[in-house]
Each structure stands twice: as C-alpha cells, then as structure tokens.
Amino acid sequence: MVRKARISDAQAIHALLNHYAGEGIMLSASLAEVYEYIRSFYVFDLDGEVVGTVRLQIFWENLAEVRSLAVSTRAEGRGIGRRLVQACLEEGRQLGIGRIFALTYKPAFFEKLGFFEIDKAELPQKIWRDCVKCSKFPECDETAVAIDL
C-alpha cells in the first residue's frame, strides 16, 4: 500500500536510497536529509516493510519533481514504482502544479505513465539548486522527462 512516510520509516528510506546511490544510479542522501524531507516522501508498505519510496519536491509555482524513486530489488516488477509515481502525480494535481518532471536512467518507465522527454535546459531551477552539486555536472547522463497535469 502507498502511504505518506512516517518518522519511523526514515531508516528504511535511507537504506533504499543509498543502496542505489552505491550503484551510481541515484544521488546519496544523508539520514539527516531524509528526516528533513520526511513529509514529502511516500512509501510502499508491504506487510509492514518499506519496499519502495519516492518524494515530490516542489520547485516553483508551477513545477515539481518526482525524485528519490527506489524500489527494493526483491519487490521489483510488481507495479510498486508506478503506484508511487501516481501518488506524486495525484498530490501535484491537488496542489495545482502544472508540470512534474524527473531525471532518470529509465525514461521508458516514465513514458508509460504519460511523461515525455524534455531538454534539461527547461529546468534551470533544478540545475542551479541540485545539479551543480552532482559529481556528473555538467555532463549529466540522465534523461529529463516531464508530464503536464
């Protein structure tokens, strides 16, 4: 089941994110950052265990990002990632956000949910807030995708 994260989920969220950060496919997050942003996280709870997470990051009046999407390797292929992203899209609609984007190594996953590829230059807020801190900047190898709500 998808639900908003609780403080008690922070350790599990941290472990999921840093597992994929260790593989170089996601930025790492400190436990302090997880606690700081806990209210923007969703988790997928499977029989009392957090097996997936995502968060919706508001960037501007009409722009938000789906980020920190991670599903445990043993829970992949069950539609958990899709359901987590859909929770972010629904929240975006409720907030009146016009566009939600993601930076991803799996654009096909997002395209199945209605996202389309965009140029990263359309995301100056993201670039100057987060990307400049990344070790891959300015040679980012992720694909930018967006959906208009």
Phi first, then psi: give them for residue 17, nearest 5 degrees: -60, -45
| Percent of the chain whose predicted confidence (pLDDT) is above 70 | 88
Beta bridge partners of 106: none
Residues 29/14, Cβ–Cβ less than 8 Å: yes
How confident is the model over 14-62, as pLDDT tens digits?
999 999 988 878 888 899 999 999 999 999 999 999 999 999 999 888 9
Mean pLDDT, rounded, for 64-71: 95
When mean pLDDT is compared over 12-16, 61-65, 137-141, the highest value belongs to 12-16
> What does the alpha-carbon distance between residue 52 and residue 72 come to, in Å, rounded to a whole number?
6
Mean pLDDT, rounded, for 51-78: 93
Does residue 107 have a cis bond before it (omega within 30 degrees)? no
| Selection from 50, 39, 45 nearest residue 12 by Cα | 50
pLDDT of residue 128: 46
> What does the alpha-carbon distance between residue 32 and residue 149 come to, in Å, rounded to a whole number?
32
pLDDT for residue 135 is more than 60: no
| CATH of range 2-148; options 2.130.10.10, 3.40.50.2300, 3.40.190.10, 3.40.630.30 | 3.40.630.30
Q: Where are the domains of the chain?
A: 2-148
CA 100 to chain centre: 11
- Say whether 112 sits in a helix, a strand or coil: coil
Does residue 138 have a cis bond before it (omega within 30 degrees)? yes
pTM reported for the whole predicted model: 0.89
